Amino acid sequence: MNKVVLIGCGNVGMSYVYSLLNQRTNVHTVALIDLNQDRVKGEVLDLSHGLPFAPSNVEFKVGSYEDCRDATIVVIAAGANQAPGETRMDLINKNSKIFKDIVTNVMANGFNGIFLVATNPLDVMTYLTYKYSGLDSSKVLGSGTTLDTARLRYLVGSKLDINPKNVHGYVIGEHGDSEFVPWSIASAGSLGLTECINSEERNSIEDKVRSSAYEIINLKGATYYGIGMCLVRITNAILSDENTIMTVSTYDKEKDCYYGYPSILNSTGVKKRTELDLSLDEREKLEKSIAAIKDAISKVI
């Protein structure tokens, strides 16, 4: 029986759980935890009233940290989000303090499952979760650049008028301003994207991917549906033992850093990181992105 504990029932957390409710999954119980107890009680009732129309039966409950004892996955979406004009890295001080408490509470209740982190700055928070929990790195991952990769696939699909599901490309590195697209390994169907999209248009797509969150935050205050769908996709890859490749934030032992990188997910968590045949220029961009994350980590640890 798979239990998911969600910590942080704001826009992102609830978009995740609402997407879970609407998809066929292997999740049997979802326990909700938030500082705002009334919100949790209200969310449990509201979600449960949708069950007669849902594809799978899921029990929603008001959770406590004791629920972590037998949880398969603990998802953390608690903490501050970006205000207009703020970068993800600007959230680091507020959210690192919150994470120390949260991860300590989870572990104090005997958790031995998989952590999935959504809070920004994503790669730093995932690293802190790894450090504070003491779990093996295969059991700690973040949503990484899955959302950015989804944005890339959507934009390329629109440009070429093909289904985004047939676009095979990644955004890698920091889930933030130093992320980038390794175009040399991106394709649509059997065509390499460097063959069918010129460099000016590729740069424009990459800029749009990088600025998407800022644009949405300026327009509606926060982003949450896209990340909700990404978190469900990651959850299903783990619970259904899929061996699916996603650009989640995973641990690079050599660099002692977490960042978005195509990694194989199954019921053990992160089975392994894939090998990428990057160009020299792409390798340099990745090094810069890793340096930006490590610099941020050094300020809080």
Ligand X SMILES: NC(=O)c1ccc[n+]([C@@H]2O[C@H](COP(=O)([O-])OP(=O)(O)OC[C@H]3O[C@@H](n4cnc5c(N)ncnc54)[C@H](O)[C@@H]3O)[C@@H](O)[C@H]2O)c1
Inter-residue contact 142 to 126 (CB < 8 Å): yes
Nearest residue (CB) to ligand X, 119 versus 250: 119
For 168, the enclosing helix (H) or strand (E) is strand 167-168
Residue in the shown chain whose Cβ atom is closest to ligand X: 10
Residue ranges with strand state E in 181-241: 187-188, 191-192
d(CA 177, CA 235): 26
Residues 174-193 that bind ligand X (CB under 6 A): 175
Stretch that binds ligand X, among 113-121, 151-159, 198-206, 237-245 (CB under 6 A): 113-121
Candidate residues 2, 4, 11, 171; the one interacting with ligand X per rule CB under 6 A: 11
Pattern 71-100, ligand X, x by CB under 6 A: ------xxxxxx--------x---x--x--
Pattern 198-227, ligand X, x by CB under 6 A: ------------------------xxx--x
For strands 187-188 and 191-192, give the pairing.
antiparallel
Q: Is 175 a catalytic residue?
A: yes
* Burial state string for 216-231 with b = 16 or more CB within 10 A and e = fewer than 16: ebeeeeebbebbbbbb
Side chain identity at residue 18, one-letter code: Y
Please tell me whether residue 166 binds ligand X under the rule CB under 6 A. Answer: no
Candidate residues 6, 20, 47, 118; the one interacting with ligand X per rule CB under 6 A: 118
Number of H helices, E strands in the chain: 9, 14
Binding site residues, ligand X, CB under 6 A: 7-13, 33-36, 77-82, 91, 95, 98, 101-102, 118-120, 122, 143, 147, 175, 222-224, 227
Q: Which residues are catalytic?
A: 175
